[in-house]
Amino acid sequence: MILKNYQNLETERRSIIQAVEANNTWRSSCINLIASENVMSPLAEKLYLSDFLHRYAEGEPFHRYYNGTKYIDLIESEVQGLMGDLLNAEYVDVRPISGTVANFAVFSSLAKPGDAMISLSTPSGGHISHNKYGAPTALGLKVYNYPFDVERMNIDVDKTRRELKLIDKRPKLFVLGASLFLFPHPVKEIKEIANEYNARLVYDAAHVLGLIAGGKFQAPLEEGADIITSSTHKTFPGPQGGIVATNRDDLFTTIKKGVFPRLTSNHHLHRIPSLGITAIEMMEFGKNYASQIVKNAKALGEACYELGIPVIAEELGFTESHQIAIDVSKIGLKGKEAADLCEEANVIINKNLLPGEPLKNVKDPNGVRIGVQEMTRFGMKESEMKTISGFLKRLWIDKENPTKVREDVVELRKNYSNVLFALK
């Protein structure tokens, strides 16, 4: 605990306001390539700041534990329907306040302490909430990891089948989806295995929800997933929050209890109207948006590779999603160093473990991950991806001073300041 014994609260007040304003100004002159972020449309953002910010509504629409909820009831039930249409799901819960909460709610509903689950390891792309540092350990679940084939950058299905026969527990949950997520997962094949164990298949769509909504990447429920969990703010450009979607009414009844009362009390109502607006935007513009995202990611991979930047998965066409990953150790850098150089030049990316890398490298990995969904929302296309690859080369290979590169980054970003694929 740090006690500061503040004397001049006016200075603190100003400092907070100034930091917010400075961040707004700085970020609007940055090229943001963090794969897990996005921006809402101005309309969704406007509706985010409403009286709902201050309200509670525990329970389900029209069956709440509070009074005063008639408008959120209407909105929330409408948003459930919109999200259901986008994901081909009959049952949707938009109350989880994050993707991790959605995962906790689902895992805790479908497995009990002592049960086993299988997911991707962190180096293979698995999210923290799929692994032993997150939800599974908190819930007393034993985690096994899928064998990962780095040649194909995907789960090795045959090896999974073989290795599962050797473990002492029969998994209750098979989890797909990842944070480093370049290629669609073998949902159909893993579902066949899950069926042999009478287990449930959960697809964490956090990174690719917008691509799925736009008809790209894959269609998890149609391919066999029992449940989708997700956040709502990555390739799906909505407010930060979570969601569960399924066509299994038997599972949904249990999962809803996991969401409330087990994992949430209030569900942060102010984000629900913005989620609805984003869902309508994705219905109207999602196909074009998702398709441009994937084109841009491939174009960035290609352009970087041509400049000598070691993008992984070259033989596979680099990516089928919004992300690419780069092994910067091959050009004499570590992931953090590469990301820090970018930040000095107003290009924001994150360091990332690469498939095949040991977990002990987690704080200083060899890779970086880059996502193009936000810049695509601001209207950038393939030619701008080429320009960005040039910035990366100047920073990482030519060792140009980042402040020089920053001038050109800021200049490029000036032309891309309006959010597209958006309702008025």
Footprint on this chain of ligand DSN (rule: CB under 6 A): 36, 127, 179
Residue with Cβ nearer ligand DSN (130 or 298): 130
- The kind and range of the H/E element at 306 are helix 271-306
Secondary structure of residue 203 in the 3-state scheme: strand
Task: Give min distance, CB of 15 to ligand DSN, in A.
Answer: 28
Q: H helices within 307-381, ranges in order?
A: 335-344, 373-377
Of the candidates 59, 89, 151, the one whose C-alpha atom is nearest the C-alpha of residue 356 is: 151
- The kind and range of the H/E element at 76 are helix 70-87
Q: At what angle do helices 157-166 and 187-196 cross, to 10 degrees?
A: 20
Secondary structure of residue 369 in the 3-state scheme: strand
Residue with Cβ nearer ligand DSN (127 or 267): 127
Residue with Cβ nearer ligand DSN (80 or 129): 129
Residue with Cβ nearer ligand DSN (230 or 247): 230
Secondary structure of residue 131 in the 3-state scheme: coil
Residue with Cβ nearer ligand DSN (53 or 138): 138
What is d(CA 384, CA 377) in angstroms, rounded to the nearest whole number?
13
What is d(CA 233, CA 220) in angstroms, rounded to the nearest whole number?
18
Handedness of CA 27, 33, 34, 35 (dihedral sign): positive
Residue with Cβ nearer ligand DSN (178 or 279): 178
Rounded to 10 degrees, the C-alpha dihedral 36/37/38/43 comes to: 120
Task: Give min distance, CB of 403 to ligand DSN, in A.
Answer: 27
Of the candidates 113, 53, 121, the one whose C-alpha atom is nearest the C-alpha of residue 273 is: 53
Residue with Cβ nearer ligand DSN (116 or 370): 370
Rounded to 10 degrees, the C-alpha dihedral 14/20/26/31 comes to: 170
Residue with Cβ nearer ligand DSN (84 or 134): 134
Spatial contact of 142 and 170, defined as CB atoms under 8 Å apart: no
DSSP 181: -
Q: Describe the chain by its helix, strand, coil percentages, rounded to 5.
A: 50, 15, 40
Task: Give min distance, CB of 212 to ligand DSN, in A.
Answer: 16
Task: Give min distance, CB of 10 to ligand DSN, in A.
Answer: 37
Task: Give min distance, CB of 226 to ligand DSN, in A.
Answer: 22
Task: Give min distance, CB of 310 to ligand DSN, in A.
Answer: 21
Task: Give min distance, CB of 216 to ligand DSN, in A.
Answer: 19
Residue with Cβ nearer ligand DSN (160 or 352): 352
- The kind and range of the H/E element at 228 are strand 227-231
Task: Give min distance, CB of 128 to ligand DSN, in A.
Answer: 7
Q: H helices within 307-401, ranges in order?
A: 335-344, 373-377, 382-396
What is d(CA 20, CA 31) in angstroms, rounded to the nearest whole number?
18
Q: Residue for token digits 């910067």? A: 328
Residue with Cβ nearer ligand DSN (108 or 179): 179
Q: How many CB atoms neighbour CB 1 within 10 A?
A: 2
Task: Give min distance, CB of 133 to ligand DSN, in A.
Answer: 12
Task: Give min distance, CB of 385 to ligand DSN, in A.
Answer: 20
Task: Give min distance, CB of 103 to ligand DSN, in A.
Answer: 10
Helix and strand counts by DSSP (H, E) for the chain: 15, 16
Residue with Cβ nearer ligand DSN (102 or 303): 102
